[in-house]
Structure 1
Amino acid sequence: MPGPVLYPYQQRWLEDDSRFKIGMMSRQIGKTFTTTLEIALDMVAAEMEGRRTRWVILSRGERQAREAMEEGVKLHLHAMGAAFQGAEDVFHLEDRTTVRALEVSMAHGSRVTALPANPDTARGFSANVFLDEFAFHADSRKIWAALFPVISKPGLKLRIVSTPNGKGNKFYDLMTADGDTGWSRHTVDIYQAVADGLDRPIEDLKKSCGDPDAWAQEYELQWLDEASAWLSFDLINAAEHDRAGIPENYTGGPVYVGVDIGRRHDLFVIWVVEEVGDVLWTREIVERRGATFAEQDALLDDVFARYRVLRCCMDQTGMGEKPVEDAQNRHGSSRVEGVLFTGPNKLALATLGKQAFEDRRIRIPMSNEPLRRDLHKLQKVSGPTGAPRFVAESDSGGHADRAWACFLAVSAAASPHMEYGYAPARPEAGGLYRGPHRMRMRPDFDDEDFPPRSVLGFKPGAW
């Protein structure tokens, strides 16, 4: 059976047998495919020589680890006609979390294991290692500190590939370090890949991307300065989780909702979080562009029907006045709170939201690039009088609409609470919503300039 057709940049990477090899490569050019081919070839060569080889693939999440195994290693071994066995296992880490690992083994004991990257998983193996999309790993420096002693044994190899993800991670350090570092470095942007024969319509991709910064970083491999970003990519990476953003994972717990109003150019966003212990798990993000107010009302009502919503904070600024008033009439003013986006209120919202990211109290969907860009584009700058204000360059993704919806949901979860009785808007929404539950509320204020209690971050029992 003929082998895969490799482009020159892939051949250069595959033929480089350096012990420490790192590649900064554009999106959509097959960097994981090529590196998993190197692993599969090493396993087959070891089997033919009667020896054993051991590889570990550390990916940014469980889904990416599965893709590297299923669409990489296994695919290549099948193509080469190699016999192997597959298995799954669950690892229990020191922080009491569990991760799922996939493994492929061969007759003479050669094995490859793919699992999510974590300082504990990085420390647990003595093997050749492939760090896939390393710039996007949460705690990349802690992972590096745990990993490097593991691969210090003579003969073990380390492979790293990624697109850039700002300057605040270990991948940036490794790619930009001066002098003889012992690393073999490869750089392939989208233009080099196409020049080497890859069939990609560059102008169409650039136009559909619609974000100059995203194009510069993910395709042209430029390092973006994070100095002014309110949420760094490191904070965003640490909050991402494979199981976030999936409505079916809702466990019936208390839910808090943030709503950013948009009618024409900007997005209308509903951000839904469930409180599990002390962590806010994103269960769903509803996004619409150009939706009528009637459609927005219906979307919000559907969220209230499917989840046990204790509190909802909505953007009341400008066109938000009527949607907030209508939502309060339908769901109660004690459950729906309007938030005016004044300077002090936005600072309080953004600060509360950032604290949730810094304290690892929020989980967001993984590999959602429009969401990542929206969270990262928000910047804190000083106004003419020196007062802080938040800006986000408007583009096809709006004015950081997803970020503000997220911060509103976090604010809703920070309010005091009381007991109340609740039944779902639709009986079919599920029996586990019935009965007395805890609800967060505040007294009404006549002064619209006074920051809402949820924005101020009051804790339960404060009043």
Structure 2
Amino acid sequence: MKREKAQAIPAPAEPEGAGAHGEPAAPVSAQLLPYQVAWITDKSPLRLWEKSRRIGASYTLALEAVLNGMETGGSNTYYLSYNKDMTRQFIKDAAYWCRRLEVSAKQLEETIITNDKKDITVFRIVFASGAEIAALPSVEYSLRSKQGNVILDEAAFVEDFEGVKKAALALLIWGGRFSILSTHNGEDNPFNLFIKKIKSGAEKDWSLHFTTFDQAIAQGLYRKICEVQQRNWTREGEQSFTRTIYNIYKDNADEELCCIPLKAGTRYFSRLLLEGCTGDGCVIVRERFPDTFVHERKGKKEAAIQTLFTKKIRSALRHITGPAYFGFDFARSGDLSVLWLCEKRAERLESRLILELRNCPFDEQYLLLTQIISNVKTLVHGKCDARGNGQMIAEKLSLDFPGFCDQVMISSGWYARVMPQVKSLLEEKGCLIPSDDYLFSDFSAVQLVNGIPKIAERVREGATGAARHGDGAVALALCVDALLEEGEIAAPYGAETHPGDASMFQGY
């Protein structure tokens, strides 16, 4: 059974990049970076690319797929990845290249095929030549009865790497090529073990490519980004961009950006697990305060906090009707203070608000938290980090909202008790989190240390000092802890529960 939605891919009136008098656009090779050209010009039937994130590798393969299918007698390309969003994006990239190259094609946005095992969602482009590009789920039976080229993207995150590889290699009997590419996902991952076999000579005939993020930058990645976004390249801008990317991946930068697989058995939350639990409906607010803010007069600081709450936060709280829980991980400078607020819907915990504060003074953190708590009328329970300086805010909240805000002295014992509960909840799809690289990097900081899943020691300090080190992961763990231990309260928090909240911002 097939259900299809077709869409023609329009050709542009004039090729993008054409000259003022309609001259043809520059050759495709001139639009690519050296490492991308090296891949496209490699005609080996077996290729493997060990790569960093964010370097345009999948974008390159989409171009190659179009080039292979556009000519008379062109070849099919079957793209497989573990994530439906990635397969959809690959087809969008291929459609972009069809427009850029003025290739006549029809885009079948989505086809659902029912076979003897389960439904398969296929995204497809069909060329006038009769060839096709199809984006498929990464299961071996999706390649059944196929003929052409196969791409296995983010292979380190595929559940059945060996099964898909075996099915893809069978297609080479009738011609075609097999390309594997991925960032790393641990030292003992089948992808990395396969690379070791190739390098040792146990697997022959494979052409190996290797590109780190730093290599991509050196070969012009940021210059190309500036060109596409039509802004001037500067050395300072490139350095700032590089720092930003390293700060996103932080303690996991060696694996995500430098192609160094993480030591076996240390990472506690895999990226595959996190991406399988993503959902919409969560507002993320990130606010950084200048060093001068702490010296402003009290009224001005309170006004700034009220403005932040009114403009960026309050709307996220209005639609919370189910039981609500929060966790708050404190930091004054350096690291982040993170509030993670969830709503329980049916039997699932759904993220509604994540607030990240950097360099926010103690009193203003407390004022903002009280505003949020006072406006969540279905609040059931919350837990606050009470280590070190965090104890001051945690203690005040526990006194002002008795029964609703608990103090937690985070320790190895707490990690050992709570982190497995968080992991189990995610594995059972019992908690939805936003798809956000910054937050994913926080979870990568949770590693097994002497058998306990906890925030590992820092391995990299950002050049900007804009550190984050597992802050979001701890905040969610505190939220889950609040869910699991609701306290001795009889009913959710209500407007009448805290008589002082109405006058807290009198006059604003």
Single out whichever of 416-425 and 347-356 deviates more from structure 2.
416-425
Q: Distance in 1 between matches of 2:106 and 2:121?
A: 17
Write the deviation string for residues 324-363 of structure 1: whole angstroms up to 9, x where unpaired. 3443455x43332222224423332233233334555434
Aligned-residue offset at 1:317: 2.6
Aligned-residue offset at 1:282: 3.2
What amino acid sits opposite 2:262 in the alignment?
L
Q: CA RMSD in A?
A: 4.0
Whether the 8 Å CA contact 2:47–2:207 is kept in 1: the answer is: yes
Write the deviation string for residues 71-120 of structure 1: whole angstroms up to 9, x where unpaired. x21111111111222343375999x99997543223454332346x5549
Write the deviation string for residues 109-140 of structure 1: whole angstroms up to 9, x where unpaired. 4332346x5549956884643233333x3xx2
| TM-score, with length taken from structure 1 | 0.73
1:80 corresponds to which residue?
101
Whether the 8 Å CA contact 1:270–1:287 is kept in 2: the answer is: yes
Whether the 8 Å CA contact 1:141–1:169 is kept in 2: the answer is: no
1:152 corresponds to which residue?
170
Q: Distance in 1 between matches of 2:42 and 2:277?
A: 33
Whether the 8 Å CA contact 1:126–1:150 is kept in 2: the answer is: no
Matched, 1:189 2:212: yes
Matched, 1:141 2:171: no
Aligned-residue offset at 1:390: 4.2
Matched, 1:272 2:326: no
- CA separation of 1:97 and 1:316: change in aligned 2, threshold 3 A: farther
- CA separation of 1:40 and 1:143: change in aligned 2, threshold 3 A: same
Matched, 1:112 2:133: yes
Matched, 1:288 2:357: yes
Write the deviation string for residues 237-262 of structure 1: whole angstroms up to 9, x where unpaired. 46453647457898854332211111
Q: Distance in 1 between matches of 2:366 and 2:354?
A: 15
Q: Distance in 1 between matches of 2:110 and 2:60?
A: 25
What amino acid sits opposite 1:263 in the alignment?
R
Unaligned runs of 5+ in 2: 1-23, 224-234, 285-315, 497-508
Write the deviation string for residues 247-286 of structure 1: whole angstroms up to 9, x where unpaired. 7898854332211111222211112334445443434322
Matched, 1:378 2:399: no
Matched, 1:311 2:381: yes
1:222 aligned to which of 237, 257, 260: 260
- CA separation of 1:104 and 1:123: change in aligned 2, threshold 3 A: closer
2:194 aligned to which of 165, 174, 182: 174
1:444 corresponds to which residue?
none
What amino acid sits opposite 2:362 in the alignment?
F
Unaligned runs of 5+ in 1: 426-463
Q: Distance in 1 between matches of 2:218 and 2:415?
A: 47
1:420 aligned to which of 474, 480, 491: 491
Q: Distance in 2 between matches of 1:125 and 1:335?
A: 59
What amino acid sits opposite 2:186 in the alignment?
G
Matched, 1:29 2:66: no
Matched, 1:103 2:173: no
Whether the 8 Å CA contact 1:308–1:424 is kept in 2: the answer is: no
| TM-score, with length taken from structure 2 | 0.67
Whether the 8 Å CA contact 1:60–1:134 is kept in 2: the answer is: no
Write the deviation string for residues 374-411 of structure 1: whole angstroms up to 9, x where unpaired. 222234445xxxx9694533444344222211211121
What amino acid sits opposite 1:89 in the alignment?
E
Q: Which structure has the larger Rg over C-alpha atoms? A: 2
- CA separation of 1:194 and 1:391: change in aligned 2, threshold 3 A: closer
